[in-house]
């Protein structure tokens, strides 16, 4: 009898040890050394776009190579979870990850904040992301592709610029964003005849279009707000028939940008068609 009880307790202790190992704080990710000669933003953009396309850019410190995303989602066994994930490049060119604000969905579909990941494999996620970043950095063609895609994504660019000083804003536009092709969708506030010359081309019309970034409805997201106002220059006669408050999608090349009130940004685009 004693032997059976001893075996029983040994099994229970083993199970508890396994559970405890699953519930402890995730171990630090292995060292990942980033190439010295490559900017960081293309690999961050590329990796998160592939593995977490629905995550939001919560905070970006562009010149200090630090990016925080909210809405990183996964499963802890059968329980959906979501959290904020920060990736940064250290002074020693190490890719470093950290997490914050873990939420899990209860059986009633409500999100509640928790203190640990439980059975979610956080280490596996950061290893996958870090490996993808290095893969992009070491592939010239892939790196260029992600570099172009990042600077053409209005949400990404808006998240970078929204907290800039005037000097940083100007530097970023001139050295990174100018010449990018943006797709903007929003409501029209005005159409006018301007006959403006840019790069030796006279553009007859200007359409003012504004795209808003609305806070997500999920309660666990940190508020994300702001809007982009676009001054779109074109020679398409069809814009004459556009009406105020109707919605329009435009594709244009960035030739300038200006700061507005709050997080508002105004872009000047010339027709890319």
Let me know: does 259 contact 272? Beta carbons within 8 Å.
no
pLDDT value, residue 214: 57
pLDDT for 263 beyond 50: yes
pLDDT value, residue 16: 39
User: What is the residue-wise DSSP string for 252-267?
Assistant: EEEEEEEE-STT-EEE
Q: Residue 117 in 3-state DSSP?
A: coil
- Residue 203 has φ and ψ, to the nearest 5°, of -105, 125
Pick 185 or 215 by higher pLDDT.
185
Mean pLDDT of 204-225: 65
Let me know: does 182 contact 251? Beta carbons within 8 Å.
yes
Looking at 151-160, 169-178, 222-231, which range is the least confident one? 222-231
Give residues with Cβ within 8 angstroms of 218, minimum separation 6. 71, 111
pLDDT tens column, 119-155? 999 999 999 999 999 999 999 999 999 999 999 998 8
Nearest 5 degrees, angle CA 236-CA 238-CA 243? 125
pLDDT tens column, 109-121? 899 999 999 899 9
Let me know: does 199 contact 178? Beta carbons within 8 Å.
no
pLDDT value, residue 173: 93
Mean pLDDT of 102-106: 93
Domains of the chain: 26-151 (3.30.530), 163-271 (2.40.50)
pLDDT for 18 beyond 80: no
pLDDT value, residue 259: 80
Let me know: does 34 contact 94? Beta carbons within 8 Å.
yes
pTM for the structure as a whole: 0.80
Let me know: does 270 contact 198? Beta carbons within 8 Å.
yes
pLDDT tens column, 54-99? 898 889 999 999 999 999 999 999 999 999 999 999 999 999 999 9
pLDDT value, residue 222: 43
pLDDT bracket for residue 13 (50, 70, 90): very low
Establish how many alpha carbons lie within 13 A of residue 192's alpha carbon, considering only the half-sphere containing its beta carbon.
8
How many helical (H) and strand (E) elements, i.e. helices and strands, does the chain have? 6, 10
Looking at 192-196, 221-225, 255-259, which range is the least confident one? 221-225
What is residue 94's DSSP assignment? B
What is residue 202's DSSP assignment? E
How confident is the prediction for the chain on average, in pLDDT? 85
Task: Determine the Cα–Cα distance for residues 126 and 184; give it in Å rounded to an integer.
Answer: 32
Let me know: does 252 contact 182? Beta carbons within 8 Å.
yes
Q: Residue 57 in 3-state DSSP?
A: strand
pLDDT bracket for residue 266 (50, 70, 90): confident
pLDDT tens column, 25-57? 554 455 789 998 899 999 999 999 999 998 988
Burial class (CB in 10 A: 0-12, 13-18, 19+), 42: buried
């Amino acid at each position: 009898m004693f032997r059976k009880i001893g075996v029983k307790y040994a099994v229970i202790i083993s199970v508890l040890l396994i559970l405890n190992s699953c519930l402890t704080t995730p171990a630090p990710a292995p060292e990942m050394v980033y190439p010295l000669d490559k900017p960081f933003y293309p690999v961050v953009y590329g990796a998160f776009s592939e593995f977490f396309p629905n995550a939001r850019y919560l905070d970006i410190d562009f010149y200090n190579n630090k990016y925080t995303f909210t809405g990183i989602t996964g499963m802890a066994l059968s329980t959906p979870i979501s959290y904020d994930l920060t990736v940064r490049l250290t002074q020693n060119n190490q890719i470093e990850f950290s997490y914050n604000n873990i939420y899990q969905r209860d059986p009633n579909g409500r999100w509640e904040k928790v203190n640990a990941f439980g059975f979610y494999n956080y280490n596996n996620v950061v290893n996958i992301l870090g490996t993808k970043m290095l893969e992009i950095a070491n592939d010239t063609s892939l790196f260029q592709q992600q570099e172009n895609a990042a600077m053409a994504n209005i949400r990404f660019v808006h998240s970078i610029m929204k907290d800039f000083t005037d000097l940083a804003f100007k530097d970023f536009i001139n050295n990174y964003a100018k010449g990018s092709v943006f797709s903007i969708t929003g409501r029209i506030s005005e159409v006018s005849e301007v006959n403006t010359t840019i790069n030796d081309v006279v553009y007859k019309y200007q359409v003012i279009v504004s795209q808003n970034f609305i806070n997500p409805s999920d309660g666990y997201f940190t508020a994300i707000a702001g809007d982009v106002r676009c001054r779109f220059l074109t020679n398409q006669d069809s814009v004459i028939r556009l009406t105020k408050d109707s919605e329009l999608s435009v594709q244009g090349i960035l030739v300038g940008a200006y700061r507005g009130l709050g997080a508002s940004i105004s872009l000047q685009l010339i027709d890319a068609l």
